[in-house]
Structure 1
Amino acid sequence: MATDNTNPTTPTAPTPTPTTPSGDHRDHRDHHGPRRDGPGRGRRDGRGRFGQDQAESEFVEKIIAVNRVSKTVKGGRHFGFSVLVCVGDQKGRVGIALGKAKAVPDAVRKGLEKAKKCLITVPLNKGTIPHPFLGKFGASSVMLKPAAPGTGVIAGGAVRAIFEALGVKDLLSKRIGSNNPVNVAKATWDALKKLRGVGDVAKMRGLTPGQVIFG
């Protein structure tokens, strides 16, 4: 007698029916709206990171000189760095400062923070200074003279860095005496603080700008 070896059919389990969550178990995102990820979440009101970068981008930052300094103590010598920097908006405002720290990046950061706190406004006349002037500091003197359009900035070292940050396009200059970059920069700073525009001179003399120019 033949034996039937066919396996009986296995019953299929019923497919579970998905249940709809009740109102008490709704997704928490329904309460707060869709989550926003990515760069679109930055603040643009000037108080966040985006606004801070935009505010700082208006200044041109230049390093004039980096000096390595040391201090001798009982246990040996301690080394540090002194960095002279200048900042300007290339629209008539400029500032210089000296930053000191044990590392160059920290010294640069301190110098830039100080320079931004001591900005001065310099009167400019068609891309050059309004009149000649001689600035002095220590053993350094810097002669500044206005130049015709197209001349360019005839200067070097600290003087060129300061006037590029200031936004001057044409200038004649001559350094007299010591070539120490710190003294030269401060002599240039002394001259810039004493420059006067036509409006300032007219106000001091009680005249109109036309009377100052044409007599």
Structure 2
Amino acid sequence: MARQRPGASKPTVARVPGLDQPGTLHNLSEIHPLLDHYPRKTDQDGNLDLETPKLWASAPPLDNMLKNQADDDVDEASLPHGLTKDDLKKFLKRALVVKRTSNMTTAGKIPSMYALVVVGNGQGIAGYGEGKDDEVARAVRKATNRAMRNLTAFERYDDRTIYHDIDHKFHATNIQFRSRPPGFGNRCNHYIHEICSCIGILDISAKVWGSRNPMNVVKATFEALSLKQKLPEDIARGRGKRVVDVQHTYYGASE
């Protein structure tokens, strides 16, 4: 028997629930969740049957413990009218920012992962959300589900661009949006480009001055496109004209 050197650390032994206590013995007639498997069925040729049930039919128990149910579940009542959970599977999802952050406390630095996600169906509905967790995948999942609960409907002219030019300021970020003709494309900041793609805006140009912080740019874009646009109905009501006259004057409508 090999003798252990003085001062050497003892080897660690993996402990199994139900077997790590002295004086206890696992009942061999029962199936242990970690040590055993269900008996495999074989056919006449000795091949394994693919229909043999698994020990965990859906997912290991640890997955349910690690989930944050409040951030994973999206209630259909919180979605805009006419949308269901099946519609959310077809949405475009863009992770604009994924970075590592640290929270300085008296116990030291506590690292975590931060994610900023934008989702949209490409037909005038989009939303953004933030998520923070110890793992990247879970942070992105939290941000995606929060974005699903914060969907906003956007007005588009001819289903491709904005109705008019917009100048908007959000804190230290200044953005100018310009309506463009068909075929112009999206020529703008890369964050705004991804947001417009999720919304379904195909022709637009934008310029950002001041702070280019991703969160400020995203919030300024959503705020400007959802609140700062004046529709033909609003302009006609304010000028005392018909909607047809406003569309002919401002948008070159033929009728």
TM-score exceeds 0.5: yes
Instruction: For residue 189 of structure 1, give the secondary structure of its aligned residue in structure 2.
Output: helix
Alpha-carbon contact 1:132-1:143 (below 8 Å) kept: yes
Cα gap change, 1:155 to 1:125, in 2 (>3 Å): same
Instruction: For residue 109 of structure 1, give the secondary structure of its aligned residue in structure 2.
Output: helix
Q: How does 1:159-174 map to 2 (within 5 A)?
A: 159-174=192-207
1:121 is matched with which residue?
153
Of the candidates 117, 123, 126, which is equivalent to residue 91 of structure 1? 123
Of the candidates 173, 181, 188, which is equivalent to residue 214 of structure 2? 181
Instruction: For residue 129 of structure 2, give the secondary structure of its aligned residue in structure 1.
Output: strand
The structure with the largest alpha-carbon Rg is 1
Alpha-carbon contact 2:118-2:129 (below 8 Å) kept: yes
**One-letter amino acid matched to 2:98:** V
Instruction: For residue 215 of structure 2, give the secondary structure of its aligned residue in structure 1.
Output: helix
Instruction: For residue 156 of structure 2, give the secondary structure of its aligned residue in structure 1.
Output: coil
> Percent same amino acid among aligned pairs?
30
For residues 198 and 108 of structure 2, the distance between their equivalents in structure 1, rounded to whole angstroms, comes to 40
Q: Deviations over 1:119-178 (max 9, x none)?
A: 111111121111111222221111111101111000132111100100111111111111
Per the TM alignment, residue 196 of structure 1 is displaced from its structure 2 partner at its CA by 3.0
TM, length-normalised to structure 1: 0.70
Alpha-carbon contact 2:113-2:135 (below 8 Å) kept: yes
For residues 137 and 80 of structure 1, the distance between their equivalents in structure 2, rounded to whole angstroms, comes to 27
**One-letter amino acid matched to 1:213:** Q
Instruction: For residue 114 of structure 1, give the secondary structure of its aligned residue in structure 2.
Output: helix
Cα gap change, 1:129 to 1:54, in 2 (>3 Å): same
Of the candidates 232, 238, 244, which is equivalent to residue 198 of structure 1? 232
The structure with more strand, counted as a fraction of residues: 1
Cα gap change, 1:177 to 1:69, in 2 (>3 Å): same
2:247 is matched with which residue?
213
Instruction: For residue 122 of structure 2, give the secondary structure of its aligned residue in structure 1.
Output: coil
**One-letter amino acid matched to 2:150:** C
1:17 is matched with which residue?
none
Cα gap change, 1:204 to 1:123, in 2 (>3 Å): farther
Alpha-carbon contact 1:86-1:96 (below 8 Å) kept: yes
For residues 74 and 189 of structure 1, the distance between their equivalents in structure 2, rounded to whole angstroms, comes to 37
Alpha-carbon contact 1:135-1:141 (below 8 Å) kept: yes
Q: Deviations over 1:2-53 (max 9, x none)?
A: xxxxxxxxxxxxxxxxxxxxxxxxxxxxxxxxxxx9xxxxxxxxx9xxxx87
Instruction: For residue 62 of structure 1, give the secondary structure of its aligned residue in structure 2.
Output: strand
Per the TM alignment, residue 86 of structure 1 is displaced from its structure 2 partner at its CA by 0.6
Q: Looking at both structures, which has the greater relative contact order when contacts are Cα pairs under 8 Å and sequence separation is at least 6?
A: 1
Alpha-carbon contact 1:136-1:188 (below 8 Å) kept: no
**One-letter amino acid matched to 1:137:** F
**One-letter amino acid matched to 2:102:** S
Question: Structure 2 regions of 5+ residues with no counterpart?
Answer: 1-50, 52-75, 77-83, 250-255
Per the TM alignment, residue 113 of structure 1 is displaced from its structure 2 partner at its CA by 1.3
Q: Cα RMSD (Å) of the superposition? A: 2.2
Alpha-carbon contact 2:101-2:114 (below 8 Å) kept: yes
Of the candidates 140, 143, 147, which is equivalent to residue 108 of structure 1? 140
2:179 is matched with which residue?
146
Of the candidates 66, 69, 93, which is equivalent to residue 61 of structure 1? 93
Instruction: For residue 124 of structure 1, give the secondary structure of its aligned residue in structure 2.
Output: coil
Of the candidates 190, 195, 200, which is equivalent to residue 157 of structure 1? 190
TM, length-normalised to structure 2: 0.59
**One-letter amino acid matched to 1:188:** T
Per the TM alignment, residue 199 of structure 1 is displaced from its structure 2 partner at its CA by 3.2
